[in-house]
Amino acid sequence: MGPPSDNFELHSVRTVTNDAPRRQTGLAKEGKLLRYRERSAWIFAFYFPLLILPWMFTAILMFRPINLHSYLNQTGIYRPKDITYLKRFRLAVDILTQIAATLGIPIVSALLAHGAVVYTQRRRSGQHLDLLQFFTLADRQWLNVRHIWKSFTTLPKNWNSSSTYLRLAAGLIFITAVQPPLRSALVRDETIPIMTCYPNACKYNNRDTWIIGSDADPEGLAESPSTWIIQRTSEKIISVDEKDTQLNLWSDTPYWLDRYSTARLDKRNFQWALGLLSDESEHLFFTSSVPNGTSTGIFRYHAVRMDSKAKCTKGSSSSSSCKGTRPFTASLSLPYTNVEVCVDGNQDANPWTLSRDKQEIKERLLLQVSSWHDNAYYGSENFTIECESVSRRGWFELPNYHNGYKPGPLLDVWPSEEELARDFNDDISEGFWLENDEPTPGPLMTAGLAMFGNTSFFHLAANALDIAMYFANEALLTGRSDRPLYYNPGVMVTKPKKSLPALVVITVLVGLQAIGLCLLMAFIYSTPTWTVDLDADALTQIGAQLKDLDEIMSRNQVCGLVGTVEDRGNDETSSRHINIFYLQPASHLPSMPRLKQHCPQM
């Protein structure tokens, strides 16, 4: 064959007229002209919700159920059918997510194929596309990782099969492909409990709810008789050992051990609480009406707590008298020693109010010691031990799921009624206070009465006062625990775990893909097309036009744009417009188009 000629004519042209039909040799598929194809619109309408909705629902499920206001609701209004609906909805979201992940690349590639048809058609002047780039798009090389890698890493003059559309298509495919693995890596599931019992049902024992303790009300504490509290405190003091486990002893300090420590210590005895095991300082501890370690599961309850701390100093002998309305005084005579005890205040009055807010009282105890000896060599000594104590009473939140199963801090202010009804399960009823002839005094006064009364022993150490006041508080709190506290594990549900990186990364990727698809659809329907994709049928018709092309001509020397011309014919033969498709853009001349080495301008 000879060299390529500029006068080579392309005769495979289809003319649509009113004449009898002739054999089709052009690019147009039989019976179809340039028109807007609906297939891509239906594919887009099917896939776009699959792309947006599952991730939107997943993001919402991180914070709350679709059909509920929050995962955590202490009012008990959630019914079992609500949880069933939540589980089914979550399953449906997972299924839609998997469907979108499976169909993502095939669907996006199908839309890109339609867009490639538009890109290979002559739409404006100055447009360039050679035959090699045409067949690269027809072959959907945006799915070929090796080809795409070379198109981005090789200079255009050395790798001229790439085109702008191919690079953009590869970017959209990449965004579509990386979403499923990133979503699996960043979005983790977590299992949380949800309370589903009705408010009344939560107050009775059943297979999921049971009583784990009782709480004392301020009215009940005010009615506690001092005689019984003092007697119980005395019995505890007499039989106590620093290593004994105290079930109602709680700590305000973290429970974890030093990382270099290998032994697990019991944190519920005075040996640890008072720092007697080593030179470490004393720990902050308190007593409550419920045992240490009590958990309420999905419920949120408060319990009363009291803590007392004494500090003793030694001074010279003082003849100062006791202060208060009715202070406690006692004396103890031993050989060569006299001890006078004084606790300021009023032993017949309760120093606490009926409020549930944090309260703090201060008390003082004096020990005046006089000692002598028959032998003047030993001399005599007179001194005073002054002990001041600070006691606090209030309420704290018991360990539960919501606070990580850790006891809450001492509340400065008791929650409001609205907050209690919304966030907690405390059933607080207005109580009434009966006048008590024997009100229980403050912790230090109770400890003094227990230690220095008729049934007590004598000890001057400050630790003894701390222990005694602890038992005084314990006796008071556990003696009038009338309000039951319940435990409920809740119904376990699985939800996406809150993750800011997952929200940001996946939302950005989904947004970029959605914008890319919308722009692609706008590009697809910017002009009618002669086919929906460059399939085998379309390529066969194109190949028919190239059969007589000189083999010496390189594929990148042949224009790969598909264009149209219009031949109006005379009025006698036809009044319809004629659409002709060919591999070269339409010329402004009325003659037949020619296949040039380069795409001419319009």
Distance CA(178)–CA(184), nearest Å, equals 10
Say how many C-beta atoms besides its own lie within 10 A of residue 213's C-beta. Answer: 21
pTM (global) more than 0.75: no
pLDDT of residue 552 exceeding 50, the answer is no
Helix (H, G, I), strand (E, B) or coil at 392: strand
Residue pair 399/302 in contact by the 8 Å Cβ criterion: no
Tokens of 78: 């959630």
Q: What percent of the chain lies above the pLDDT cut of 70?
A: 72
Q: Tell me what pLDDT residue 556 has.
A: 54
Q: What percent of the chain lies above the pLDDT cut of 90?
A: 21
The domains of the chain are located at 39-190+495-546, 209-258+265-489
More confident position, 481 or 588: 481
Query: With bands split at pLDDT 50, 70 and 90, how would you rate the model's confidence at 150?
Result: confident
What average pLDDT score do residues 452-465 get? 52
Tokens of 89: 């909805």
Burial of 247 (0-12, 13-18, 19+ CB in 10 A): middle
Judged by average pLDDT, the poorest of 306-320, 410-424, 498-512, 516-530 is 306-320
Residue pair 116/134 in contact by the 8 Å Cβ criterion: no
Q: Tell me what pLDDT residue 200 has.
A: 52
More confident position, 334 or 573: 334
Closest CA to 147 of 131, 129, 126, 163: 163
Query: With bands split at pLDDT 50, 70 and 90, how would you rate the model's confidence at 575?
Result: very low
More confident position, 537 or 111: 111
- Token look-up 């239906």 returns 42
CA 444 to chain centre: 47
pLDDT of residue 21 exceeding 70, the answer is no
pLDDT of residue 592 exceeding 80, the answer is no
What average pLDDT score do residues 517-541 get? 84
The CA-based angle 250-254-256, given to 5 degrees, is 110
pLDDT of residue 591 exceeding 50, the answer is no
Cβ-Cβ contacts under 8 Å for 419 (sequence gap 6 or more):
none
Give the C-alpha distances (Å, rounded to integers) separating 163 from 126, 152, 156, 170, 332: 15, 10, 9, 11, 105
pLDDT of residue 182 exceeding 90, the answer is yes
Residue pair 18/576 in contact by the 8 Å Cβ criterion: yes
Range 17-20 contact pairs with CB under 8 angstroms and sequence separation of 24 or more: 17/569, 17/573, 17/574, 17/576, 17/578, 18/573, 18/574, 18/575, 18/576, 19/573, 19/574
Say how many C-beta atoms besides its own lie within 10 A of residue 587's C-beta. Answer: 16
- Token look-up 């919304």 returns 422
